[in-house]
Each structure stands twice: as structure tokens, then as C-alpha cells.
Structure 1
């Protein structure tokens, strides 16, 4: 059994699900919580999953990073709207020469974390997961769960598959979490945006679930146009996304169970939206390189209006 100690910063629909899976197979996992702290510290975590329901009656729950042990792998599963807290959260809990594993949506996040903590390694994780938190310490996993891992190097240069990636992948695979290792994190980030930009954005602007967006000819066309603009954005940074990948994402979503995206849930709950990380950062990076993405720009401005009014 792995002796690596894991910290989960953000025990919600994503962090709670993956952290619970890791603990379920015997890994040493420590969970940081906020509003759910009392419930989880007393009653543990409940996971309803298409792969089988389970309960962890006892977990290592904390409401303060100062009380947490130094960990080998610190999983950042917060919303990117809370990333301003990371300068206080990360230094006390990550070991020297440890790993910060970023399971967040968007682009440019690893750069920010590398500026916060030194003497550590930063790995990005691209999660294809349909999961919701339906109550305090209660997570419902609807579909998928695959993670693509890629290690960050300055300027998103390609450094291939590292031993650290292989070791963490082994832990996750032991927990029956599907893992793919990517030699190029930047390409992986842009490929994730092929799904995240159209479905998260349009779900808010058009007040629609994924199945509703796919069922209508006009919105399906709009989704596809946005995906091709993401492809153009990636190309501006020297990364190529094949057309076949876009078709695969469309097929996946067509077969997916009706799903309310994370951004739509945040909007409905009047929480800040991850507009900047998911839409704003990629848009600005492409524009800085002289590439105009008009559909994404339009989506960005609509989301900023709705987010501000909400």
C-alpha cells in the first residue's frame, strides 16, 4: 500500500468524491472543509455512485490547514473563484519536494500555484466527471470520473511523463479511478476547454442542461462553433486539437445523462462563477497572440453580465 499522504483542499462534488475513493482503498487522506466541517467530522462522507454506493463513517476532517499534517500530495479541488486563498492554504500543508495536484477547470492555474509555493512539483489534473454535492458530506456521482494527469513546467513546456505522475496514477488506479498520463499539460488543458467553454457557458446563458443543448439543432450548432474556436485558441499556442476529438466530445455529451453543469449550479445557487479561469484566461491568451475568438468573446461578456447581476 502506498505510504503517500494526501490532503484534499475542497471536499465538494469533486474533491469529496476522489478523496473518498482514495480513503476507501486504505490511503491516508486528510480533508479540509468549511461549511460541512461539523457534519463530516461527526458522520463522515456518503457517496452515491453509479459504480456502487459507499459510506466512510470516519474521515480525517479539518477546518484549518494549520491543524493538518504535512502531506506528500495536496489536491486542490476548490472552485477557482477561491484561488486567492491558496497563498495561505498551500504552504502549511504541502511537504518540501511534495506535489500540488490541481483538479480545477480552466487555463493558467498551474502558473499561479508555482508562484505561490516553491520546492514543490505542480501537476494538473483534467477531470471528466459528472458529480454533485447534494448535502453536507453527501456526494452523488452520476457518470464518468476519468482524470488526465500532466506535470507543469515553466511556460507550459513539455516535460513528458514523470515518475511522480506514475506514482500518483498508481494510487488513483488502485482506487478504481481511470487515469491517463499526458506528456503535454497545455494540450490537455485546451482539450478540456473544448467541453468546458461551450457547455458551462451556454448552460448559464441559455438556462439549459447538457441534454437540452444537444437536443436542439440551433444550440448544437452553437456548441460546435464554440468548440472549433477553442481549437483555434489552442492552435495559437502551438497545440493541435484534431477534429476527431471534437466529434468525440459531442458524442460523449449526447450519450451523457441529463446534467446541470457546475457553472449552472453555481449560478442557480448565486455563487461566483468560474468565468475567468474557464473563459477569460483562454480568451486573453489567444488575443495576446493576435487570434480573435468572437463567439467565445461574446459568451465571456454575457457571462460577466450575468455573474455581476447575480
Structure 2
């Protein structure tokens, strides 16, 4: 990593570190703004699309509950991945590879392979950071970039882009970071008859998540003939990736905390700890997001207060709560909110609409696969059925496909 391996948290880099965010939405702009510290040799750039001109002309105006109002002017703003790949560091002579590539786009593996999108940015020493919803989001990147360190991240934040270049952070700033080697690896299996039912829009093959089983580290794969012979070679690759990823995650945590003053940045003790947090967030997302669409557009509090919907939401969450330990080999810590606690908290979340409902109402693609499809396939690969979640997945996926065919988009 060009010297970052020896850099200890708490010390500033002795040469410029270049970080690019792929996705200049509310979440990306907020976390980018707290990471950009040129006086400490840390330079953050953005790849923007619809808001490119606003960001180029005026930077990002942030209205935050936590840090007040301020303007973030990135090191550079690029209109495309190609532009960022051509010149990672436009203010200095000669290009340098990106040290960190932080992906904050919506995860839509049924529509596109984002690992292919960022490929022009990735150098031999680049670290890929994924701040995305759902589970199994890391595997396409691991398949395409087998030797690059990957950091998986889970965030809890309420933020919105109220107009191009203006971001409002309403509540929360928590982000969890952890290394990823292959704890949610995809392995093709011709024995899985359900693969034919996975949507195959825009590159849905075994490397992008469409039609693939997911076998977490330490689990039994569908066939065991090559397991023993490949175990030592896998460890030889995975252990260094975990070590490097953990170190690079610690550096990010230090910069966000010490320099960016975000107080609730957490580096997970190991890879499974981070995946446990992903599955806990899934309890909320997989219950409330699709149910709000299926229930006709009802918000979180409205659903939590309806007796039948509350029973349904609790059933989905408890199904995930019971399946996750069998998938990960580790249960949820006692400190994590139980399904009943989540329901009680949701009763107070008046006026809140889940992101999937907002996407549905706006006619945009929903994160169906990473929030619903992947966990169903992960569980099935471990011999665990989740019938409630599978039913929700089948119905919401069908709704999206029917609407897409009607619009001529599929």
C-alpha cells in the first residue's frame, strides 16, 4: 500500500493518500467530508453523476445535526470512473493509483456488476471499501480482485440529498468496519435447482451473485472432494488479506475519529463480527423495506402499530435471528437489539419511509437481491430454509419484474 502497511493509527501519512468515493449521494458525501484532511496528507475525491456540475462549481454544502453547517470541497470531482482512472491525482505531476476506493452506490447485482465498474480504478495495492446494504455484497469484488484487500462496512445514518450538492444529515453517524476475505463466498453448484429462478438481468452470473450459492468461511461446500486440498492454499491467501484489511480499516477508523471527529466508528474484532452486524441490520431491512411495498406504501411506525403486520414483521426478524448463527457460526451479542426491541423502537419512527418504498414510489430499481435474495440463498447453502423471507423475496421480485416489463425495461 505504498507505505500504509507500516503507518500506525494516530500518525499522519508521510506522503499524500488518495481516496475516491464512487457514489456522491448523501451517505457518500457525508463520510467523504469527514475524511478529507489535506493538511494531514489525506485527499478525498468524488465520482459524481447527476450532481457533477453542482459539486464542481460549489462543492458540497452539508447541513448536519452533528457538526453544524459547512462546505466540503473535494480534492477533485470526476464525471465518470474513466476520468478518475485516467488521472487519480490531477493536481500533481503523474498519476498515482488510488489508495482507497470507497463504494457507496446502491447494490444492484441483478442490474449491473459494480466490481466491473470500478475495475479501471483498482491498482495492485488499492484497498476496496464497501459501504452498502445487504449481505453477500462483497463477493463479486473478491472474485474480480482476489489479491486486493477489501473492507466491508455497515453504517447507520439518516441523510438525504435535498438538492444537487446539498446534503442534510438528520441523525446518527455510526459506521462499523471490518476486513473481508471470503466469509460470504459464492460457489457455483449445478445441484442447486433454484439457480434457474434467480434473475439474470445485466450480468447475473456466478461472479456477480446471480444464480450462485453462498458458502461462508468454515462451512461445508456443496461438494467436499476438493475441500482438504484447497484449505491450506485458501488460508495462505485469506489470512494475509484479513491482516492487511484490518490494518487499513484501523487507519480509516483513526482518520474518521481523530481528524473527522466522528465518535462512533467501530473496527470489528474479526471478519465474522462484521458479518454479524450485517445480518443484524438485515433483520430490520429485510422485514420493513419489502413489507412497506407489499403493504401498499405504509411507513415503519404505521406497520409496527398494525397487529397483523407487526406479527409478520416480527416473524421475518425472528427467522433471520435464528438462521444467522447457523450461517455464521456465531450468535448475535446480547448488546444487539432483539426483534421485539426493534418493533418497539419502530413505533416511534413516525413519518419514516423505508428506502425500498421510496425507490418503488420513484420507479427506481430496488435492492431486492442483496436484502432478500442473497440471504435466502446463503441460508439454503447451509441447509437452512427461511420460508417467510423466501415468500417476501418471491413477491417483491415479481412486482419489480412485472413493472419493468410493463415499462419495457427488462
- TM-score, normalised via structure 1 length: 0.90
Cα distance, 1:154–1:305 mapped onto 2, change above 3 Å: closer
Which residue does the alignment assign to 2:332? 241
Tell me whether 1:32 sits opposite 2:47 in the alignment.
yes
* 1:212-245 deviations in Å (ceiling 9; x for gaps): 2233333333222111111123133123125753
Which residue does the alignment assign to 2:291? 202
Give the superposition deviation at 1:14.
Answer: 1.4
Cα distance, 1:145–1:255 mapped onto 2, change above 3 Å: farther
Structure 2: how far apart are the matches of 1:248 and 1:179? 23
More helix by share: 1
Q: Where do residues 217-232 of structure 1 align in structure 2 (5 Å cutoff)?
A: 217-232=307-322
Q: Is the 8 A contact 1:143 1:257 kept in 2?
A: no
RMSD of the alignment, in Å?
A: 2.5
| Structure 1 unaligned residues grouped into runs of 5+ | none
Q: Is the 8 A contact 1:229 1:293 kept in 2?
A: yes
Aligned length: 310
Which residue does the alignment assign to 1:134? 162
Which residue does the alignment assign to 1:167? 251
Structure 1: how far apart are the matches of 2:176 and 2:121? 24
Structure 2: how far apart are the matches of 1:105 and 1:189? 8
Which residue does the alignment assign to 1:53? 69
* 1:97-125 deviations in Å (ceiling 9; x for gaps): 22111001111111110112243101100
Cα distance, 1:57–1:186 mapped onto 2, change above 3 Å: closer
Structure 1: how far apart are the matches of 2:349 and 2:35? 25
| Alignment match of 1:116 (pick from 129, 144, 155) | 144
Tell me whether 1:214 sits opposite 2:300 in the alignment.
no
Cα distance, 1:143–1:119 mapped onto 2, change above 3 Å: same
Larger deviation, residues 231-240 vs 144-153: 231-240
Structure 1: how far apart are the matches of 2:52 and 2:75? 11
| Alignment match of 2:57 (pick from 15, 34, 42) | 42
Which residue does the alignment assign to 1:64? 80
Q: Is the 8 A contact 2:302 2:350 kept in 1?
A: no
| Structure 2 unaligned residues grouped into runs of 5+ | 1-11, 89-96, 185-216, 219-241, 404-410
Structure 1: how far apart are the matches of 2:38 and 2:375? 37
Which residue does the alignment assign to 1:271? 364
Give the superposition deviation at 1:63.
Answer: 1.1
Give the superposition deviation at 1:272.
Answer: 0.5
Which residue does the alignment assign to 2:230? none
Structure 2: how far apart are the matches of 1:21 and 1:252? 29
Which residue does the alignment assign to 1:14? 27
More strand by share: 1
Structure 1: how far apart are the matches of 2:22 and 2:79? 10
Cα distance, 1:264–1:53 mapped onto 2, change above 3 Å: farther
Query: Which secondary structure state, in structure 2, belongs to the residue aligned with residue 28 of structure 1?
Result: strand
Q: Is the 8 A contact 2:373 2:393 kept in 1?
A: yes
